[in-house]
Amino acid sequence: MAGPLQGLKVVEIAGIGPGPFAAMLLADLGAEVLRVDRPGGSALSLGERDVLNRGRRSVAVDLKHPGGAEVVLRLAAHADVLIEGYRPGVAERLGIGPQPCLERNPRLVYGRMTGWGQDGPLAPRAGHDLAYIAVTGALHAIGRAGGPPQVPLNLVGDFGGGSLYLVVGLLAAVWEAARSGRGQVVDAAIVDGTAHLSAILHGFSSLGLWRAERGTNLLDTGAPFYDVYETADGGHMAVGAIEPQFFAELVARLGIAHLVPDQNDRQQWPLLRELLADVFATRTREEWTEVFEGSDACVAPVLSAKEAPAHPHLAARGTLVERDGLTQPAPAPRFSRTPAELGLPPCAAGAHTREALAGWGFGDVEELVAEGVVVQA
């Protein structure tokens, strides 16, 4: 692959969710990522249809075999980065923790992806995205007035506060290692990343511009000009007309400019919301899409994942593509000189055991297969 990370070698100890997404992103951008799977793969993996596993080869290593850890350590000796997502202490018990890996390769950047982090009272406890974002304040802020917190899929925690912060940390540490000659451990905790993503909320709160009550603020559906409205056919339109010039365009296109109260008069927001809801209910989603075509009203149709690839803008940019029978996002972001491209399709655990290990300098692959240390799918 010819992306900007070409030449970066990454060992990924297979996990679920944020770890694989981080490895996918690195692979999308051109890194050579070798996925170390358990024989047979994870019970939660979708195998050859798991988009999160695209872009890299897979070797199956039995880490319970006496020789399993040695295979990982040999890979670490030739890598720039290693990623693991075990609970704290598990990698150490398996013999592939930071200390033995850095002894083999002092320049290695060792990335640890967890929810709670490597220390603190909850570090050894199990968890999932929802619990992590719950304690940071992020979940509390999402929802409508008078209602409970709403679950934002696992995009805010796992992938936003987790994967993306892991990738930023890894690349920062690789940059530093190129100058110091020394690797280090990157502790990427979803609670830390999600709290960091919430910086704007803390800023607003410190200025008295954010209320603790859900659905009463500018960006949480409290403002009627930043919300979604149902259309005549049961679809929805998203409205984000915050700035006055965009709001003016919105109400002009809706034909209610002569009826609306002052945009910033909170006392009139219930009336404004009712006006917007009533007007949007008079036409279908497709009709409103045509009305706002080419405008700066900051209005867009709410599309499903199946509908999104056909949206004219996304289609023109190739934002979502179909490959190997799977609709999936194209690599992002984009680069003018070193464009990233989709690499290998998702594969079964151990699909490349022989060729991948040989490519990483193993001259004893057949012996390892015969001993059951590694498995070829």
| Catalytic residue annotation | 128, 158
Structure tokens at 349: 């655990």
Cα–Cα distance measured from residue 159 to residue 155, given in angstroms and rounded to the nearest whole number: 5
